[in-house]
Amino acid sequence: MNTYKIPFETAGLYGKMFLDYLNGTEALKSLYQFEPNLASFDKIIDLRKSFPKEKRTLIVESLKNQYSAIENAPIAQIEALEDENTFTIVTGHQLNIFTGPLFFIYKIAATIHLTQQLKEKYPDCNFIPVYWMATEDHDFEEIASFKLSGKKYTWEHPEATGPVGRLSLEGIDKILDQIKDMPQFFVDAYTDNMTLTEATRSYVHHLFSKYGLVCFDADQAELKSSFKEILIKELFDNTAVVEVEKANAIIESAGYKTQIHARAINLFYMEDKVRLRLEKTPTGFRAVDGDLKWTNQEMMDIVENNPERLSPNVVLRPVLQEFLLPNLAYLGGPAEVIYWLQLKGVFDAYNVFYPMVLPRGFSLFLDTKFSAKWRKMGWPLEELLQPITVIENKLLDEKEELVTSLEAEILQFDSLYASILDKGKAITPNLEKHVLAEKLRGEKRLKHTAAKLRKEGKRKMKEDIERVVCIRECLLPSNVPQERVENLLTFWSKSKGNLLLDTFVKELDPLAFKLNIVVED
């Protein structure tokens, strides 16, 4: 496999604020702490060495419990977190069934790549890649389907309410039955486990355990208990919303759009079957879209005795992550990068470390079928990312000679017969009619040939356009990047599955700010 790297700006697929952040635009500098480059890790590591020992012990014990049912669990990686010289690099994502769209794989691959890169630069430290599992998310529809070679598969769950990580796996066997040659690790994950969290941890562990990846589920009572002080402040002081609005003002005044909006309380009330947004009332709290109500004291009792019933939303989840982990950097997509820039003030207000924010890995894949077509065409890959109209116009310009008329040749033909006619007249005037008749027959044949050439030229040009559009559709199906549409299974096989993962881990450098196009030989 060969990998071609295209700068984000050249690819033309990414928004202005995302690119401006990576380029160090002055208007955004107050919204983050560390420049997104390798040199910044010198300072970050020094600052993170003060991460509390008791938190390290807490997360080690929690992770051991989370991995208790996993064969060949990454115990060495987990126990290394006790060491003050061990740090994490985190990416987070929903619990999409069967990995969901490809960019989930790229997120993890780039996270692993960065830990390897840091180990080379700082050999006395350890760096653990972490997948933060969005087990508490309640948007079932977002995780319940995936596309495989253009066909959509959807999990029909009989009772899909509450945090998705706690859902049973009822009904998912129907998808297993529909897909031929389903990899055994998916079959095992969805038949040997009880919940979506367990199944997701199982298949992610199978795919990435050899790279030292650790899956982290914060839906644990002991972890939420350590977060109680911030939970109380968020419930009673409305701290986060004020800070987010300050950041929003900076962003909007610079001409950008914000990604998220904070609420007065950025917490949900959560049980197995419900996850309901909390709202303050004159006498306490209530659950929006529900009948549940609490007095101030009753809510304090929940914080003290059942903190696992409080679930952070998109504003507070990153704060919980950095509160719990000795983390150096977070990898996310363009939308995530933008909303992290909205949150630095929240981190500061809660006295929680704000990490480096980096783009995840971005990649497109051309398998053997399409790579052969691309090589035959001979176009630079970045040109295939242009809009269809631009591509068609370029091809029309290149192939114009195929569809031109034979006007020049016809002029030469007229000149030739004029010369023949002059010579014929010099011999005898009787040849004039014969020469003119031959000229007329020749003109008809020439025009017929010209018409045939034009027809064939247009057909050939149409084939070339269709070939280019076909390759582009592989990379950008319906103008959406392939990584957001197709699933890992589209390209997976026993023979090349591990090679694919090795390639992604090797090539997806989150500090390079480039789109990778992996081309199969």
Per-position DSSP letters for 424-487, written without gaps between them = HHHH-TTHHHHHHHHHHHHHHHHHHHHHHHHHHHHHHHHHHHHHHHHHHHHHSGGGS-GGGTBB
Give pLDDT tens digits for 127-156.
999 999 999 999 999 999 999 988 999 999
Across the range 173-196, mean pLDDT stands at 96
Residue 291, in any domain of the structure: yes
Residue 25, in any domain of the structure: yes
In sequence order, what are the beta bridge partners of 271? 274
Whether residues 168 and 128 share a domain: the answer is yes
SS3 298: helix
3-state SS track over 314-359: CCCHHHHHHHHCCEEEEEECHHHHHHHHCCHHHHHHCCCCCCEEEE
Residue 318, in any domain of the structure: no
Residue 114, in any domain of the structure: yes
Which pLDDT does position 415 carry in this prediction?
Answer: 83
Residue 403 has pLDDT above 70, yes or no: no
Which pLDDT does position 405 carry in this prediction?
Answer: 60
Looking only at the bridges linking them, the beta strands covering 293-295 and 284-287 are antiparallel
Residue 2, in any domain of the structure: no
In whole numbers, what is the pLDDT of the chain averaged over residues? 93
Whether residues 344 and 384 share a domain: the answer is no
Whether residues 397 and 353 share a domain: the answer is no
**Contact of 418 with 371, CB cutoff 8 Å:** no
Residue 458 has pLDDT above 70, yes or no: no
Which pLDDT does position 332 carry in this prediction?
Answer: 98
Whether residues 46 and 153 share a domain: the answer is yes
Last residue of a domain, one of 447, 463, 480: 480
Whether residues 124 and 57 share a domain: the answer is yes
Tokens describing residue 336: 């995530």
**Contact of 111 with 129, CB cutoff 8 Å:** yes
Looking only at the bridges linking them, the beta strands covering 126-133 and 356-359 are unpaired
Whether residues 247 and 124 share a domain: the answer is no
Whether residues 217 and 356 share a domain: the answer is yes
Give pLDDT tens digits for 310-361.
999 999 999 999 999 999 999 999 999 999 999 999 999 999 999 999 999 9
Q: How many domains does the chain contain in total?
A: 3
Question: How far apart are alpha carbons 86 and 126 in whole angstroms?
Answer: 4
Across the range 299-307, mean pLDDT stands at 98
Which pLDDT does position 289 carry in this prediction?
Answer: 85
Residue 314, in any domain of the structure: no
Which pLDDT does position 467 carry in this prediction?
Answer: 85
Report CA 394 to chain centroid distance, whole Å. Answer: 30
Whether residues 172 and 50 share a domain: the answer is yes
Confidence grade of residue 406 (pLDDT, cut at 50, 70, 90):
low
Whether residues 212 and 235 share a domain: the answer is no
SS3 394: helix
Residue 170 has pLDDT above 80, yes or no: yes
Give the length of the chain: 521
The type of residue at 58 is L
Helix (H) or strand (E) holding 416: helix 407-427
Give pLDDT tens digits for 42-65.
999 999 999 999 999 999 999 999
Q: Which domain holds residue 51?
A: 15-223+326-362
Give pLDDT tens digits for 365-381.
998 888 988 988 888 99
Question: How far apart are alpha carbons 106 and 207 in whole angstroms?
Answer: 12
Residue 518, in any domain of the structure: no
Whether residues 27 and 166 share a domain: the answer is yes
Whether residues 252 and 347 share a domain: the answer is no
Whether residues 251 and 376 share a domain: the answer is no
Among candidates 447, 452, 440, which has minimal Cα distance to 407? 447
Residue 520, in any domain of the structure: no
Confidence grade of residue 436 (pLDDT, cut at 50, 70, 90):
confident
